Structures are given as structure tokens and as C-alpha cells.
Amino acid sequence: MSEIREKTLGRILYDTFARCTYFSPILIHNYKSRKSKLLPLYAALNSKKTEKANAQDKMVVFVVTPDTTFNMGLADRLRGITSVFKICKELCVPFKLYFKVPNLIDYLEPNQYDWRIDDNEISYDTNEVYPCTLLTFHANLNDRLQSFAHSKILKHYIRKPFQQIHVHSNMVAAEKDYGYLFNELFKPTPLLQEQIDLHLPRLGGKGHYFAMVFRFRQLLGDLRDGGETLPENQRESYILQAVKCVECEHEKHPHETILVTSDSKTFIQRINQLSYVYTLPGEVVHMGVTTDADKMTYLKSFLDYYMLSFAHTVISIRDKKMYHSGFALRAAMLNGAEYREVWM
């Protein structure tokens, strides 16, 4: 009897710990975001709408608009999209994407599942719609408790008595199935595919090159993003350290082309001086920070993503100053490339 009591007490304590550590931050953020941001925003949008949304069956809509980016980058959004889609499939609830920053349909189109939704199908009437957030608060994406919390909370939201559930999320619930779910949802548009077809043969084709990713943010003073900016007199030595990393990898694989991607145009200009390095044209912006770039600027992030995914190995370069981005990992997961992190 005492053993049963101990197990019961242990379960109670464990459940309490899980709720406090994993459930509470998600639910608190949703409560605060709804009160301070989402409900006022939806009230304003609903007042401007001249026609009622077309009646539809209950659906979940993953929403990204200029007012609701929550500073999430492309990798965060793709992780959230595939995770929400997975739960919708489990519950047999229609899944839609209302992704306006950038306009996703310019770069990715439906593959096996039609996720498109027209403006006239979107409702902002909070008598019909439940707008919510479901964000990630633990860095370990393989944490099963975090995935459990995300899945349980989303299912709770979906079961609410509303016609549309509008989700703003970077939740984690589909890591093992990420590539499969992504490819079920998406394929490149002709605009993006044209660029892939242009650059892939120059790298030797799928699986015949490796890639290195440098996420400097605004360390080198050439990008609007978060984090520190190095003093000008420290930038050159820092760039040389990064170049050395590429040279070291080339020594290990002297006969392969290296695709280098980076958010720093300063670094790209420098690394292009190496004959065995291939870089993709265009300027990178952080989608959670820059919401007003033109169509071709945003194209660069999607091109980087696909070209990384076709490498046999993706190496993310890290140090204490660089941002530990999930972009390189997410790209590697798409088509099963090996993923490694190397400290500079």
C-alpha cells in the first residue's frame, strides 16, 4: 500500500512539475498575447471588414501577418506549420495557411495537400474565431515533455467551440516527420524552381556538395537583426576566423565545392574570393524583423533553404557570439542530409 502511495505521490509531483515548467509559460503567453495584442487587433480588423466570412466547416488556420510575426524566422515558422499540420491530421480537422509575410504562395505552393485560404474566408469576428499563440520556451527541440505540452494545448484549443482556430506558433510536435510533412504540404513555385534548376547543376547536383552556414546576425554591422554588433576594429579578425573554418573544411574535402550561406553580405563578399566556394546571389533579411522587403529579397531565404537541403552534409558554424539558428538543421532535415555543428 505504501509503495502505491509513493508512486501516486511521485506522479502528482511529476505532473505538477510538468505543468509549471512546460504548460504554464505557453498558456500565460497566450493569455497575455490575446489580451494585449490579438483581441484588439481582431476587433480592429473585423470593424473594417465589409462582408462576413464565407461559412466553412471548422478549420485551423496557421497565421503569419505583419502584425503577428512574434519575431519568428523562417525556420521557426516551418517547424510550427508542420507541427500544427500533424495535429490537424490526427484530429481530422482541415488545415489552412494564411502566410502573408512574405506572401508564401510566391515561393511555395500546395503539393499533396491544399492549404490555401482566400481573404474572404478569413474571419476576425471573435465570436467565431479563437486567435491563439503556442510558442516554444525550451531550447531542446527533442524534449518530449515540451512536444507533449504543445500537442495537448493545441488539441485543447482546437476543441474550443469556434469555427476557426487561428494559430501563431513555432511549436515542436513533428521533428521525426518534418521532411515528410513538409513535402506533403509544399513544392517550389516556378519562380523558386527556376532558381534551384539554375544553381544545382553548378554545385554538381543533389548530394554532390556540402554546405556551411554562418549566422552572424548583426555582428558585422551589415544586417538589421538582434544581438550585439562588434566594434569596427574587431570585425576583420572575426571574419578571418570564419574564413579559416571554411579553409579547414576544404582541406578535409579538397575535391568538393562548398556552398556557403550567411546573413552577412560582408562575409559573403570575402568568402567569394575562394575558388572552391559557391554562394547564392541576393540579400538575406530576417523575416521576423523585416516585414516590408520586396519579393525577390525574400526569395533568397527559400533558395538557401532548398539548396542546403540538397547537400550531403550541412555544417552550422557556431561560437558564443553567433546566433544558434535552427535554419540549417531544418534544411538538413528536409531531405535527410547529415547535420553537424562546428565551433569556430
Residue 186: beta bridge partners?
110
pLDDT at residue 14 tops 70? no
Residue 165: per-residue pLDDT: 98
State the pLDDT at residue 68: 86
Whether the bond between 102 and the residue before it is cis, its omega within 30 degrees of 0, is: yes
Is the per-residue pLDDT at 248 higher than 60? Answer: yes
Cell digits of residue 58: 471548422
Higher-pLDDT residue of 272, 14: 272
Is the pLDDT at 4 greater than 80? The verdict is: no
**337, three cell numbers:** 542530409
- For residue 1, the model assigns a pLDDT of 47
218-237 mean pLDDT: 89
- Residue bearing the bigger pLDDT, 263 or 16: 263
What 3-state DSSP class applies to 138? Answer: coil
Size of the chain, expressed as the number of residues it contains: 344
Q: What is the pLDDT of residue 316?
A: 97
pLDDT score of 13? 57
Residue 143's pLDDT band, with cuts at 50, 70 and 90, is confident
pLDDT tens for 266-286 read 999 999 999 999 999 998 887
What's the confidence (pLDDT) of residue 18? 57
Structure confidence at residue 291 as a pLDDT band (50, 70, 90): confident
> What would the DSSP string read from start to end of 292-339?
---HHHHHHHHHHHHHHHTSSEEEEEE-SSS---SHHHHHHHHHT-EE
* Range with top average pLDDT, 7-11, 219-223, 289-293: 219-223
What is the rounded CA–CA span in Å between residue 49 and residue 45? 6
Q: What was the pLDDT predicted at 10? A: 58
Q: What is the pLDDT of residues 78-94, one digit of tens each?
A: 999 999 999 999 999 99
Q: What is the CATH number of domain 190-343?
A: 3.40.50.11350
Taking each continuous run of H as one helix and of E as one strand, the counts in the chain are 11, 11
Round to whole Å and give the CA distance between 236 and 230.
10
Average pLDDT over residues 49-54: 76
**pLDDT at residue 12 in the model:** 59
pLDDT in tens, 153-192: 999 999 999 999 999 999 998 889 999 999 999 999 999 9
List, in sequence order, the alpha helices (H) in 34-171.
39-48, 74-91, 144-158
Least confident segment among 112-116, 241-245, 324-328: 324-328
> How far, in Å, CA of 321 to CA of 236, rounded?
15
Return the domain boundaries, the chain: 2-184, 190-343
The pLDDT of residue 302 is: 96
